[in-house]
Amino acid sequence: MSSQDIDRNEYYRSLKRNIFLIVILVSYIPLIVVSSGILYQMHAIHQEKTRIHLETLVKKHKWNIDHFLRERQDNISFIADSYRFDELADSARLAELFRKLQTTYGHVFSDIGVVRADGTQVSYVGPYLLESAQYNDAEWFQEAFQADTYTSDVFLGLRGFPHFIVTARKYKDGQPWILRATVDFLAFNDVVENIQLGQTGFAHIINRAGALQTRTAGRPVSTESAYLALFQKANQFSPDQIQSGTRQAADGTDLIYVAGLLKENQWALVFQQDLKDAYRDLNRTRNIAILVFGLGGIAIFTMAVVLSKGMITRIAAADREKEIMNQQIIESGHLVSLGELAAGIAHEINNPVAIMVEEAGWIEDLLEEETFHESENLTEFKRALTQIRKQGIRARDITHKLLSFARRSDSIIDRVDVNDLIREVVSLSAQQARYNNVEFESRLDEDLPAIQVSQTELQQVLFNLINNAIDAMDKRGGVIHVASWSNGDQVLFHVKDNGPGIPEANLHRIFEPFFTTKPVGKGTGLGLSICYGIIKKMGGEIKVESRVGEGTVFEINIPIDVRGATGAEPPAPVAKHAP
Amino acid sequence: MIPSEETDIRLLLVDDEEAFVNVLTKRLAKRRVTVTPAYNGTEALQRLRRGDFDVAVLDLKMEGMDGIEVLKILEKMAPELPVIMLTGHGCQISAREALAHGAFDYLSKPYDFEALLQKIREAHQSIRRSP
């Protein structure tokens, strides 16, 4: 491989790389920008939607729970308002009322009791043995006696089971007493646990101390204190306001939380969910989008590889064609300039050759004089002079052929039947062919249209090609195949021999004037140049194919309508005539 | 001795190649052709004014006035004078133009001497035959 080929391959490789990179960049950048934008927007919208949905949900439940608590409070207040202390202190009466409560509201209340200001429960209805129980030391007791109505936090109390109570304070003879009822913890939990979303989304209630007021169904509520800030911000928000945000759990899980304050800002209803769980749909959509974009990316990559490869193949083919065309232009330019040069030389040579021949003739004339008759070298003089004249004539023939090549010879355009011309030339060459043991084979298209060309010129072309073929075979013999055919626009013929063929190195030079491989004196090297000139003038083409050891074929095509091509006179030669 | 015709032929030879004119003059003289040389068109016309000629041999390409121009003048000055054109470059188009302007014939250089001599004699015969 030559260094030029290596450079070219390097050039194509770099071009291929550049095309590949451009395709990748031009395709990937918009793809990445657009898909990132879409994903970002999708993410933002979905997050917003999720947040709004959760806020709505929490708001509704907050209302439900608030309503539930208020209703319980109202139940107890209503009874306290409707009955006197004595009536309620009667356990049988209280049991009747408790039954009515359960009938009306289900098992929302688990027990009910009346407590005096000294902390003694004077009557009690419920599953525990709490009659005459002392609540003096209970935390809720103090607070309950300070307000008309009161709802406690969840506590274990005497029964050792989480519960909370609602109370209503009344007076008898100036002494306060309270009606207290325990809200069924499970019933309350049901209200709260209604909010369940996905696999990890659940709601719970905490008090201002961060203590859980509901169950968490085994779900970790790692840092309740994380939500204490909700209470600190309470005065900044309206009671109905919902707060939301994200935080990180102790185990590193990202959580989304939505919270609302309950029970006059004493409790907070908190809904929390793993972010991954909350955004499960989003993530699934994102994964599908990434998959689609990934497949698109692979398609683009494949296309970039195929495209760059295909383009390089085409560019390389175009470059090759361009190179061949350039070579042909250079070669034809070379032939034209050589032709013009040859014509100039021919003009310049004819005059001195004429003088030489005349001078030789003059010496011959003088030798005829008697005084030279006895010269012993007379015969030799005469031979030399004959040779001078003969070579002069040969020089003239060469110059005339040169002029033919330079298209300076006259020609008459006529209707020519190529088949007739082939037959004529073959028969004229038959003698020489026999001498060289060459046989002719012909396959002529009998429907060949006539063409408008100079018969003598075309004859000369055929003569040159056939004589060259005969010469090529030497005396070893062979076959010359002559064929004619037409493709509608052109008449074509070929002269094919099975001689030794033309080496590739010589093939592109055979149409150059004076290029010959024949021995000195046997060929002028002008035959094919003349053929080339004539066929070009006719607007046709002459092509050669040859394989060493197999033979050579000259194929000629001539347009059927060549009047335009032959109508114009060739330009005059550049060379100046000698004085 | 080289055979010759009965009477000398008076020939006007016009060519800008002096060496050519000189050798041809000598050779033709041996064949009873009296050559008056002229080395360009102007000189040829001067010679023609001074003397009579049977035949003229005229080179086609010459510096200054070329053969065709001289021929055109000769056509008017001496229409009966047969002119043989010589061409240095085998261009048949110019030769044809010469024939169109009344040239008797043409030859391409380098020609065969005998052929030239033959043409000169034919040209001479043609004026003898013509009335």
For B16, the closest chain A residue by CA position comes to A579
Go through A135-163 and write b for each residue having 16 or more CB atoms within 10 A of its CB, e for each that does not: beebebbeebbeeebbbbbbbebebeebb
Contact B35, B28 (CB under 8 A): yes
A380 shares contact with chain B (CB less than 8 Å): no
Q: Which residues of A touch B96 (CB under 8 A)?
A: 410
Distance CA A496, CA A504 (A): 17
Contact between A484 and A456 (Cβ < 8 Å): no
Q: In this complex, which of B92, B108, B113 lies closest to A361 when CB atoms are compared? A: B113
Q: Which residues of B touch A388 (CB under 8 A)?
A: none
Task: Please tell me the distance from the alpha carbon of residue A123 to that of residue A120, in angstroms, as a whole number.
Answer: 9
Please give the interface size between A and B, counted as residue pairs whose CB atoms are below 8 Å apart: 84
Q: Which residue on chain B is closest to A345 by alpha carbon? A: B89
Helical pair A378-405 and A527-537, crossing angle rounded to 10 deg: 30
* CATH 3.30.390.50 fits domain A407-567: no
- Show residues of chain A in contact with B90, CB under 8 Å: 346, 350, 396, 399-400, 403, 408-409
The two tokens of residue B84 are: 């043989």
Torsion of CA A28, A34, A35, A41, to 10 degrees: 160
Query: Nearest residue of A to residue B111 by CA position?
Result: A354
CA–CA separation, A255 and A50 (whole Å): 13
User: Residue A128 to residues A113, A131, A133: CA-CA distances in angstroms?
Assistant: 11, 8, 10
Question: What span, in angstroms and rounded, lies between the C-alpha atoms of A322 and A327?
Answer: 8
Residue A400 and residue B63: Cβ atoms within 8 Å?
A: no
State whether B90 and A409 contact (CB < 8 Å). yes
Q: What is the CATH number of domain B9-129?
A: 3.40.50.2300
Q: Residue A264: which region, alpha, beta or left (left: phi > 0; alpha: psi -120 to 50)?
A: left
A271 and A54 in contact (C-beta within 8 Å)?
yes
Task: Give yes or no for residue B34 having a pLDDT over 90.
Answer: yes
H or E, element range at A389: helix A378-405
Is the CB of residue A535 less than 8 Å from the CB of residue A541?
yes
What is the residue extent of each domain of chain B? 9-129
Q: Find out whether A278 and A244 touch, Cβ atoms under 8 Å.
A: no
Cα(A206)–Cα(A184) distance, integer angstroms: 17
Give the per-residue pLDDT at A330.
Answer: 67
Residue with tokens 């024939």: B99
Interface of B to A at Cβ within 8 Å reads 1-2, 16-17, 19-20, 23-24, 26-27, 30, 61-63, 88-93, 96, 108-113
Cβ contact A425:A459 at 8 Å: yes
Dihedral, A518, A522, A528, A531 alpha carbons, nearest 10:
-160
Q: Do A393 and B112 touch (CB under 8 A)?
A: yes
Q: What ipTM score was computed for the predicted complex, to two decimals?
A: 0.85
Three-state secondary-structure class, residue A54 = helix
| Contacts with B54 (C-beta within 8 Å, 6 or more apart), sequence order | B9, B10, B11, B81, B82, B123, B124, B127
The chain B residue lying nearest A386, using CA atoms, is B112
Closest chain A residue to B21 measured between Cα atoms? A355
Is A251 an 8 Å CB contact of chain B? no
Q: Give B14's contacts in chain A (Cβ within 8 Å).
A: none
Per-residue pLDDT of chain A (579 residues; tens, 9 = 90+): 566 677 888 888 898 899 899 988 988 898 889 888 988 898 889 888 888 988 898 888 888 888 888 898 999 999 999 999 999 999 899 999 999 988 988 888 889 999 998 889 999 998 888 888 888 888 888 888 888 999 888 877 777 777 889 999 999 888 899 999 998 888 788 877 777 778 888 888 888 877 777 777 666 665 556 677 777 776 776 767 888 888 887 788 888 888 888 888 888 888 888 888 888 888 888 889 889 888 988 998 999 899 899 999 999 899 888 887 777 776 666 665 666 666 667 767 888 888 998 898 888 888 887 676 677 788 888 888 888 988 888 887 777 766 665 554 445 677 889 998 898 888 878 877 888 889 999 999 998 998 988 877 888 888 889 888 888 887 778 999 999 999 988 999 999 999 888 888 888 888 887 777 766 556 667 788 888 888 888 889 999 999 988 899 999 999 987 444 433 333 333 323 333
Which A positions 336-355 lie with beta carbon below 8 A of chain B? 343, 346-347, 350-351, 353-355
Write out the H or E segment, with its range, that includes residue A558.
Answer: strand A551-559
Q: Which of B15, B128, B2, B127 has its CA nearest to residue B70?
A: B15
